[in-house]
Structure 1
Amino acid sequence: MGRLIKEKAKSDVDKLFSGFSKTRESLSVVDELLLYWNLADTDRVLDELEESLLVSDFGPKISFKIVDSLREDILAGKLKSGSEIKEALKTSVL
């Protein structure tokens, strides 16, 4: 019985860490998107960001909230560069 519990625990830990790698891979796309971001691409980039967050298992509610907040800040002129958006994204995720 103890061996089965240990194997199950190891399997759960492996799944957890493989999930993190999936998140890391999905969000690396965001780095590239924001590197070349410009105001004209805002809607496209935010749509792709939202998709990346959903694929990364953030869930629809959190993904939409993060992207809507970023969109509002961009339109209000609070975020003017890809690096500022990236920092705001990090803050939102944390």
Structure 2
Amino acid sequence: MSKLIKTTMKNTESEISNSKSNVSKIDSDLVGVREKMDELNVNIRKINGSITEINNSIETNHSELKDIFIVLILTLQTILSNNLKIQAFMVYGI
């Protein structure tokens, strides 16, 4: 019986040692996971910053395009107005 107890104790100690080793490996892996998560968060912040820059650029370009479009419409109105004046002059001599 004493031999059985010693064997059981030895096996239990071995299992405890293996469990401690496994816990240590898991802790080490978790540290690696935390580091990767931190890197991922940094990259997400960079991406968010880039998206903000793109949005600002789009807003600026939209504003510039809007101004160009307005100038084009005014120019077209002037051309059409002048064309009507020319037609009126040609037809009615006004």
* TM-score bin, normalised by smaller chain: 0.3 to 0.5
- Mark the structure with the bigger radius of gyration: 2
Query: TM-score, with normalisation over the residues of structure 2?
Result: 0.38
Q: Hey, which of these two has a bigger chunk of helix by percent?
A: 2
Question: Higher relative CO (CA 8 A, sep ≥ 6), structure 1 or 2?
Answer: 1
